[in-house]
Each structure stands twice: as C-alpha cells, then as structure tokens.
Structure 1
Amino acid sequence: MKEKLKIKDLLSWTKCRLISGNPEKYICSISTDSRTIKNGDFFIPITGENYNGHDFIEASLRKNACGFVFESKYNEKLKLWEKSIKTKNLNDLIILKSQNNLSFLNNIAYNYIRKFKPTVIGITGSAGKTTAKNLLVNILSKKRKIGFTPGNYNTEIGVSKSILEIDSKTDIFIAELGMRGKGQIKLLSDICNLNIGAITAIGQSHLAFFKDLREIAMAKAEIAEVLYRNNGVLFLNNDDQFSDFIEKKVSCKTIRFGRNNNIAFNFIEKNTDDMGRFMFDLLKGSKKIANIKLNVPGYHNLYNACCAAAIALYLDVDSKTIKEGIEEAIIASSRMEIIKRKGKIIIDDCYNANPLSVKRAVDALVLISKKRNMRSVAIIGDMLELGSNSSGLHREIGGYLSEKKVDVLIAVGNLAGDVCKGFKNNINFNNSKIRYYYFRDKKELSGKIGNLLKNRDLILIKGSRANRMEDIINLV
C-alpha cells in the first residue's frame, strides 16, 4: 500500500466496528495471505471455497501483524485470539469487526481510488485481456505514472489489492477484469470507477455459469454501466460477432477497433516471420499511424495490439511511443511463450483454455509449423467450466485440430478424451503422418511422451489452469 490509511477513515469507508486500537492511528500496509505477511501488516482474512483465512489470524500475529479484521460470525473466537496474544498489549493491536471481509477489502479499494482520481482503464473479454493489458501497460508506462493489476490479479481480491498500490502521483490505473458469473464485471467496474473500458472478444468460457454466448456478452457488457455514469467510453472489437449486439445494449459511447479501415482504429497485416509474429500497419481511420512488429506469435494478437494502441491513441499517446511499447513488450509467461529445447520448439500457452483461445493457439501452431517446415504437435488438456455441452465442445476442438491438419494430437485428462474422438471422426486416414494419443493424466503421459516426440517438433501445450499443463514442459 503506497499511502497509509487512518483507522478512522477505514471505519467510515467500510462501516465496520472498532474492537480495539486507536482510531487516530494509521495502517501502512495490508495482507490477505498470512504466509507472506510482513512486520506491521494489517491482516484481512478472506474466506474461500477451500480455505478460511480466520484460521491463520494467530499465525499473522506471530509474524507481528499490527492487527486484523474478522467477520462477525466468528465473534466467539475473539477470546481465543486474545489469549494467544501473549507478548502484545491488546490495546496496541488494531482489531476490527466486519460483516464480510471481502466486501471490507472492496470498500477500502472503492474509496481509495476515488481519493486519488486517476484515469481508470478496464479490460475484459473471453480471450486476450491479459495480453492487451500488458501491451497497454508497456505503452503508457513510457510516458505516464501508472498502476495496474499484475499477473492474474483480475478478481475482487486482486483488483482491490492492486488499487491499494497507487498513490497521489498515479495518472492512470489499468485493470484486467475477470469474470465467473453475472454481476462480477459490474462490481469490479464499480470498485475501479472506470473511465475507459474494452472488451477484447466474446467466446465460450465459463459456460457452467451461463446459458449461452449471449448471456456471456451481456455479462461482459456490464462494464458499460459505470462508463455511462462517468461519461466514459467503451472500446469494442469490430470483428467480434457480438460487437453490434453489445453496442445496442449499452448507453455509453463506443469506439471500434479491428481489421477494417472504415472504423476508428484499425490494422492491416503485412507479413509474418518464421515464428508467427506479424508485421502490421496501425491506422486511425484511413491514416497510417505506424508500422509495428509483434513480439508474440499469433494472428489473434493483432487484435490485442490494436486494442491497446487504440486506447493509447485515444489518450493522445504519440505513434513512436506506441510502436516501441508494443514491439518491446514482455508478454506474460505461459501465454504464447516460445521455449526452445533439445531441438524442439514449445509454444507454452498453458495459462488457461477455452474453445476460442484453443483455436487461436492452434492457428498459430499451424502457421509456424508451415513457416519452419516442422511437425505440428498439439498437447491438449481439459477445458473446464464449459457446462452441459462440455463433451461437444471438446469434440469440436478435436475436429478443428483435424481440419487444420495438425500432425499429432496428444490429449491429456478426463475430458480430453472427447478431443480425440472429435479428431478421429474428422481425420484423413490417407495421411499416414497424422497420429493421435490419449492419456488419462500427466503421470500416464510422462512414461510415454519421450517416444512420441521427435527432433524439430513444434509443440503447443494448452489446457485450463487447474490442469497445470506447464508440468508437461519439463517432460519434453
């Protein structure tokens, strides 16, 4: 936390109750993880599906936390916590009681960001939001004092903690907004107090929580409610099938980006190198702004770059800075990351997976394999949270792999067997080079993978986060 907070202000912001401590004192830093807590941190225990942060309050005090907040339903535990404080004067500790600690954290962030009033940009989408965010961060950080959500900090916890890292000198805050259900984008947008929003793409993600793609589009469009209130603007991917649908549903101003010089911000792809990294012209309307080369493979990343560039141009960033920001950007690990190993090339796109992102990664695999004359190998894991049509969507991916003429499919996981079925049903058995294999888990794969791969293989590894597909990299 960059700016210390007076306890009295926290009480006002969160409507919590002061149990002990001086309301005129300050909190200098907070922590939601007792494992990484530092001397003087204020501990906010969060309750999740598989854990309860209240179980670690004593551990936080042993590490010299300055205090903690607890939820009122754990009121009976207060005496136990007090007994465990042997070396501290209870009155020296800051102890607060709230109704819900996640709401407590969110309310702090909500008020904290309004205290400093930076320009706030929120990026969401079923695919591409992290890359678009990282590209924009790299552009804007060259000229402005910015804050942003690092890594995968795109939830209520991550976004709120990231907000607390800004200060009075921060001009711009850039937030990646994740979603697992209705109302989440609205909540995150409201916490952040957005001025600018962007939706990168709508795809088949988190279908376990939504009826169909239209519901997903509506949930993403929640970003526009705060934008309308703040007289802000929403950037939409002109080539996404739901851009017209979203534009009709929202009340805020919209701006389009994409592959079409009849729209506000657009690109024209030129060529690609042998690693699938595209060169493109960036245009504002019909006016060429810059010629740029991506440093990450995949045609889909042209859209992510155009999204970032469009927002930067809207903020009056010069073309030289935009070009340098995109070309020099370091893309997050396990997101189309290229790894060279033992004569093979690995495309590490392990971070997460849904049907849209898998198809995009497969397109890049096929493109690079043709450019470099390498055998294409797709190691595909389960795609989670796809709801009742999960089996059909996995088969669809298998069919897509076959359609794109991927040479070798290695499917890993309980659900990935359907990828094999889809691949097999569409395979051209006249092509003797095409192979497919199925393994129930990574352990079963580990004993066989050495016999399946060859020198000069180009290997895509992709699957949902829970699969930890990155473990397979060490087997190659």
Structure 2
Amino acid sequence: MGQKISLKRIITWTGCNVISYGKAAGSSGKYISSISTDTRTIKENDFFIPVTGENFDGHDFLADAVKKKCCGFAVDTTHKKSLEYAKANSDPRVWEQLIILEAAGTLSFLLDIARNYIRRFNPLVIGVTGSAGKTTTKDFIVNILSPAFNIKYTPGNLNTELGIALSVLEINKDTQFFVVELGMRAKGQIEMLSKTVNPDIGAITSIGASHLEFFKDVNEIALAKAEMADFLKEKGGVLFLNNDDEYTGFIMENVSCRIIKYGRNNNLEYNFLEKGADSSGRYDMELFNSDRKVNEFVVPVPGYHNMYNACCAAAICSYLGVDKSTIKNGIEGTAAGENRMRIIEKGGKIIINDCYNASPLSMKCAIDTLKTVAENNNCRSVAILADMMELGSSSAELHFETGKYLKNKKIKVLIAIGEISKNICMGCGRETKAGENEKNAGRILPEVYHFKDSGSFADSARDIIKPGDCILVKGSRANRMEKIIDFL
C-alpha cells in the first residue's frame, strides 16, 4: 500500500460498524499499513478484506487470515456465522488483539476506501475502456509516461472492482498519474469504477458485442461504456473517441463532456497514416495533429487495429504535453501482453498467439492480422478458433458472421474447436462432421475442420498443420487455447 491509513479515516470513509478496535489499539488511532484480499498471499499485520466471487467466499478463510497474523479484518453484516466460526477456531489471546469491522458489503467497503484514498493524493487519472484494445492502449500509455513521471497503474488485466481498488491503494504522495483500465460485464459497472477513480481523461477504444449476454444490444453496451463521461464533465475532463468506430456517433449524441476524436481522417485533431507492415504484421505509422505531422513510429504489437490503440495513447500523451521522442520511445518499447498478439516461430511455422480472450470484434481484428502476416511471408493461412462466450441469444449468429468474415478474407484453413464454433464452419459455407474436412472443389472456401475440444484436435494436428503455415490461435479465456500451441 502506498501510504498507511488511520483506522479513524477508514471508519469515517466507509460508515462501518466497529466490532472491536483490538485490545492493543486502545482507540481508533491505530493505522492500517497494508490490505489483503487473499489469504494465500496475506502477510503479517495485513488487514484482511474478504470478498465474494462466483466460486468462492473470502469469509470462509477468516480463520486462516487470523492464523497468518493479520492485524484484523472486515466482515459482511450477513456473515455472522462466518465470524462465529472464525472466533471458535482462533486463539482467544490473538482474537482479542484484532481490529474487526462490520460492513454492508465488503467489496463496497473496499471501494469506499479506494475512492477516498485516491482523492487524498489527487493524481491525474487516465481511464481506458472499450470492447477491445483497452489493455494494449493502457500499456502504451504506461510505457510512454513511466520514464518521465511517477505513475501507478492497473497491472495486466486487473480491470475489475477488486483489481482497481487494490491498484489505487498503491498510490502515494509522489504519484503524478494513475492509468486505469476499466472493465465491464454489466450496466452500471463503469459508473461504479469511475466513481471510485474519478478520471480526468477517458478513452473508449472500440465498441463491440463483448458480454452481449448481459445487454439488450450493442447500443446498450456503448451507453454503458460511456458512463464515465458524466465524471469527466464534472472535472472539466476530456473523452477520447475512435472516430472510425461505428458507435462513436451514437456515443457523442448521448454524452455532454468535451470530446477529442482520433482516427484516419486528416480533419481530426489527432490522426494517423499507415506506412505499411513488416513480415510480423507490425505497422509503421505517422501521427498528425490536425494537418501537421508530429511523430512517426513502428507499432510493436502486430495488427492494423493496434495502430488505433497506439494513436489513442499517443494522442492522450501529446494532449498532456509529453514530448515527441518520449512518445515514440514509449510506443516502440511496449511488448505484446501475455497471449495477446504474440508472434512465435516454431518448427518452420509462424504462430500468432492471441489466446487471451475473444469477442466478435477482436476475432475480426485477429483474422485481419493473420491475413497480413501470412501474405507478407507467403504462408498458408490457418485459423484455429474456439467458442466465444457470453454472447447470449446472438451467439450462433455472431459465430456464423465470423465464419463469413473469415471466408471473405480468403483464409485457407479453418479449424474450429467447441460446440458453438460449429456456427463458424457454417458461416464459411458448410458444416463438417467432427474432425472431417470437405475439400473446396475449386470454390473460394477454406478447408474446414471441426473438433469438439482441443484434445481431439491434438490427435489430428500433425495431419493438418504443415511447416510453412501461418497459424492464428484464438478463443475465449475459458477455452485455454494456449495449450494448443504446445502441440503445433
């Protein structure tokens, strides 16, 4: 944690009830120097906040936290039995030393602490959200700002309430910028996160059908992503929007904060010009401020779509007054994230590892990248695609559309894995039996294979995949597609 917090402040910020100040504390003047939400990594004198997930409840581990010498813990008002169990299974001499606070929702308790904590130090907050590209854009911004400024940020893809709150608590009096990725699975979540971090600058990288299961349509997703705009307006902040995204106009009709658009149109305040891609699909691009060239750099993460992410990051940092060379070095020094557009050369094959997750929008971007890299290396293009999750009643249609897109891009081979991915095969023009290929007979269609799971594909991989192939591997996180790379 960046700086210790007095127990008195925590009580004031959260409105919690005090069950025990702890015998050693004597009063509410005691300080909390570190907060933990995981008893697997908790350290001595940490204050434990048990949170509840889909498959776990941190309250089940209160006794473990006590045994590991936490200084105290919070407990939800609905978990009195968990409190009783922990007390019964703890040393009474240790128990009487503990700070115990009762809150109406432990996650809300943590968010209340984070919201008030960040306002004590007031760094400039840059919030990035979007259906695709938000992690890469955040990474670009972080790499640009890090050499010249004292910054904190959400690491990896810690873009949920829990990850963001814990990242906020790393801020200290010297922090100048806090760069935060805002994830979303439901309406109101961006509003909650924006309320916590209070952004000065926002960016929406793209809008697509991610998590459509939880929304009526993509318009509703766009409105949910734009929930941060009200907080930007209050602070006189600015929202950066991708001018080439089809939902940007809709967002602009529904927000009232200041907007700066970026994209390919040279009439925009920030725009870019593509200069071509190398054999790994990495693009050289020029950045313009209105009609004046202000920078040129190679985007180190493959894919045409990543020029938009680089443009967004460069535009934000240019707006903040960061100099040209710092922006260029920051962009070019950014590595692809784990399982995100990583190029691997293995056994005479080029593998594009984009296994981290998948949505209809990111699938299309990945297929575009496959086409570019395959053509630039004179390779046969092979797409190994698995089910996309959380698409609700539109799932079959969106998988079908992915197949149509793949066919139109003239990808040579499709290997679809998973029950829902049969619809990708159908979008290519036909359905196959499990593991069976139907030849093209001269038609502009890919060879199509379907397997129920990655294990059944492993048995046939060597018969399908050949040296000289360029292979895209992609699917939703639940499919754990990275394990396929081991037997390619």
Unpaired runs of 5+ residues, structure 2, are 432-438
Q: What code does the residue aligned with 1:449 have?
A: A
Residue 274 of structure 2 is aligned to residue 269 of structure 1:
yes
The equivalent residue for 2:479 is 467
**Match of residue 5 from structure 2:** 5
Amino acid at match of 2:10: L
**Displacement after TM superposition at 1:87 (Å):** 6.8
Contact 1:399–1:425, Cα closer than 8 Å, also in 2: no
Aligned partner of 1:177 in structure 2 is: 182
Aligned-residue offset at 1:79: 2.9
Query: Among residues 293, 303, 306, which one is paired with 1:288 in the alignment?
Result: 293
Decide whether aligned partners of structure 1 residues 222 and 105 sit closer, same or farther in structure 2, where only a CA change above 3 A counts. Answer: same
Provide the secondary structure at the position in 2 that maps to 1:68: strand
Matches within 5 A, 1:237-386: 237-386=242-391
- Deviation of 1:324 after TM superposition, in Å, equals 0.5
- Paired positions, count: 476
Q: State the distance in 2 between where 1:95 and 1:349 align.
A: 45
- For 1:472 and 1:165, the matched residues in 2 are separated by 37
Q: Which amino acid aligns with 1:239?
A: D
Check whether the contact 1:231–1:252 (CA below 8 A) recurs between aligned residues.
yes
Separation of aligned partners in 2, 1:390 and 1:180: 16
Unaligned 5+ segments in structure 1 are none
What RMSD in Å do the two structures reach over aligned CA positions? 1.4
Deviations 1:65-120 (CA, angstroms, capped at 9, x unpaired): 22111101111332321222217433321111111001011101100100100000
Residue 195 of structure 1 pairs with residue 200 of structure 2: yes
Q: How does 1:381-392 map to 2 (within 5 A)?
A: 381-392=386-397
Secondary structure of 1:92's partner? coil
**Greater Cα shift, 70-79 or 120-129:** 70-79
Assess if the C-alpha contact under 8 Å between 1:381 and 1:463 holds in 2.
Answer: yes
1:438 aligns with: 450
Secondary structure at the aligned position of 1:190 is classed as: helix
Instruction: Give me the whole-angstrom Cα distance separating, in 1, the residues matched to 2:340 and 2:107.
Output: 29
Counterpart among 380, 384, 407 of residue 412 in structure 2: 407
Q: Give the Cα–Cα distance (whole angstroms) in 2 for the partners of residues 272 and 452 of structure 1.
A: 28
> What is the alpha-carbon distance in structure 1 between the residues aligned to residue 94 and residue 241 of structure 2?
56
The 2-side partners of 1:340 and 1:87 are apart by 59
The match for 2:434 is none
Q: Does 1:24 align with 2:36?
A: no
Deviation at 1:433, TM superposition (A): 8.9
Q: Tell me if 1:140 matches 2:145.
A: yes
Verify: 1:34 aligned to 2:46, yes or no: no
Residue aligned with 1:170, SS: coil
Q: Quick one: distance in 1 between partners of 2:347 and 2:262?
A: 40
The offset of 1:428, in angstroms, is: 5.6
Residues of 2 paired with 1:172 and 1:469: CA distance? 35
Deviation for aligned residue 1:469 = 1.0
User: How far apart are the structure 2 equivalents of 1:83 and 1:140?
Assistant: 50
Distance (Å, rounded) in 2 between the aligned partners of 1:402 and 1:429:
15
TM-score, length basis structure 2: 0.95
The list of structure 1 runs, each at least 4 consecutive aligned residues, that deviate by more than 6 angstroms after superposition, is none
Residue identity over aligned pairs, in percent, reads 51
Cross-structure match for 1:451: 463
1:57: Cα distance to partner? 1.1
Q: Output one character per residue of 1:332-373: Cα deviation in whole Å (capped at 9) or x when no partner.
A: 111101112121111111111111100000000001100000
SS of the counterpart of 1:424?
Answer: coil
Of stretches 36-45 and 309-318 in structure 1, the one that deviates more from structure 2 is: 36-45
Counterpart residue identity of residue 2, structure 1: G
Contact 1:31–1:37 (CA<8 Å) still a contact in 2? Answer: yes
